[in-house]
Chain A
């Protein structure tokens, strides 16, 4: 007994020493895996974002950025109606594209999950392929399709819907809308498909056993369970459509979207502080969007 009592404190000390060593070891391991990404993100992402915010509070004088604090850029944005008009137009366009993407993605994803078996994976892959095949090339393809002598005009004349080619197909907001929708649609299909795939088939059976017809099942079973996926997809589609300035540049009729006016300030207009202030606008809109998504727990599921 005496020996045991003498051994006990020694065993405890030894165990504590090991625990201390393990803790120190784990701290070192954590520092090793956490440090590099943290430093990179701070130096190359958070830094730039904060600096953009600061820059928006400065001024340009004689083509030089003067670092005096002022709200002049923001007063200008809110006093000249053109800037908020551009923002409103961009939000409307991005919302239309997002809503249309939901309308197209839901039936597609539902069809893939419920009515395909052997081909399901292949058909899902088929949604991904356009996404990964060159953004610019797809914009360019729409230019060809919607052009005056393009596929669509020829087709419309062929079926006698119109007699003259419609030159306004290309270089219009409609062309911008169609192109954005086609380009960003897969970003909606992916999360919606994932959400619907996770619905256990027994829920459909239960719903129909309880007498719900097709539409009621969709409304009360599929929609609520697919909703986080829809919201996740909406963040991507909305954000990507909102910031895209290449598509309006190549497909539009010169109508400016927020991306275009920002790009101009960092290009020909050469007014970085004002451009920075303009860039804060979509940032605010998207922060609100992300805050809403967070309430639904969507961000964790991305």
Chain B
């Protein structure tokens, strides 16, 4: 039975409206970033690059961006190692508390960031009082970010491990390779795409995170916190639009590459299940 045209048309219109709703804010940002207006009233007045001049001559957002990138790199490295390890533990072994571990690693993205944020800030304050080196700083921010990024890498690697047949690993072992050789030459290449995809998502999520960061930051700034304080001060609004254009131009390609790498590889799908 063909769906009546009327139904298809109304569903299509609904979908179109949802897309418009999702993209309107991004469109607005791009318009005002390339406009000379100081107050963002509609319609925009005069196309201009002046806000990019303002942005490029203001050192603060760039220092903040450097800090953000540093945090994101550290968090991503931790997340890649721990997420991959956790995926192997969950997929290749049966042990007591396996479900609990899976749930525990997923919990930081199921619970609101504010709970993670206040719990960690309380904890780090206490650890510092006990003389441990956990003063609030970019390091504590990176620890916080890594904690909710582990699940991104883990889920990507888990999905890939579930789909890859183990016959290649068995063949490698039968041919005399030891565990490490098999891991390095057979297993790792087959999950590399998933690891990189997870890492890119972790990096992007960390770069943009604001709520956990808000509670764990010391004296320094990250880019989202710089944007937040700039919005609250209410000055030079279009400078925010300009930095937004810069950030989005970095993060969207990263996400697209991640999506491409995380797709199901056709070659591996062709391997029959053992």
List residues of A whose CB falls within 8 A of some B CB: 25-26, 29-30, 32-34, 36-38, 40-41, 44-49, 51-52, 55, 104-105, 107-108, 110-112, 114-115, 125-130, 132-145, 147, 149-151, 153-155, 182, 185-186, 208, 214, 235-236, 239-240, 242-246, 249-250, 259, 262-263, 266, 272, 275-276, 279, 282-283, 286, 290, 299, 302
Contact = CB atoms under 8 A, between A and B. Distances in A.
The range of chain B's interface size is 35 or more
Interface stretch (B47-55, B57-65, B119-127, B188-196): B119-127
A286 B252 CA distance: 31
A275 B118 contact: yes
B122 A38 contact: no
A288 to B, nearest CB: 13
Interface stretch (B13-21, B162-170, B265-273): B13-21
A111 B224 CA distance: 35
Nearest to B123: A48
A259 B215 contact: no
Contact of B231 (A47, A242, A250): A250
A125 B256 CA distance: 8
Interface of B: 1, 3-4, 7-8, 11-12, 14-15, 18-19, 21-26, 28-29, 32, 39-43, 78, 81-83, 85-86, 88-89, 92-93, 95, 101, 103-116, 118-123, 125-126, 143-144, 146-147, 150, 179, 204, 208, 210-211, 214-215, 224, 227-228, 231-232, 237, 240-241, 244, 247-248, 251-252, 254-256, 259
B29 A282 contact: no
Task: Report which residue of A32, A126, A133 has the largest number of chain B beta carbons within 10 angstroms of its beta carbon.
Answer: A133
Contact of A44 (B92, B118, B120, B211): B120
Contacts of B119: 48-49, 51-52, 279
Given A138-B25, A144-B40, A272-B122, 9 more contacts: A30-B95, A34-B95, A52-B123, A115-B11, A134-B244, A138-B26, A144-B28, A149-B39, A244-B211
25 contacts: A33-B89, A37-B86, A40-B147, A44-B120, A52-B123, A110-B11, A111-B15, A115-B3, A115-B11, A128-B259, A129-B255, A132-B254, A133-B26, A140-B29, A142-B25, A145-B25, A149-B42, A150-B42, A154-B42, A214-B3, A244-B112, A246-B211, A279-B115, A279-B118, A283-B115
Contacts of B179: 25, 29
Nearest to A147: B40
B247 A137 contact: yes
A91 B257 CA distance: 37
Contact of A149 (B29, B41, B109, B123): B41
Q: In terms of DSSP, what is the predominant structure of the interface of chain A?
A: helix
Residue among A37, A114, A272 with max Cβ neighbours from chain B (10 Å):
A37
A55 B122 CA distance: 8
The 4 closest A-B pairs by CB, nearest first: A243-B112, A141-B25, A149-B41, A48-B123
A272 B119 CA distance: 10
B41 A33 contact: no
Contacts of A29: 93, 179
Given A52-B122, A286-B110, A182 B42 contact: no
B231 A136 contact: yes
Nearest to B40: A144
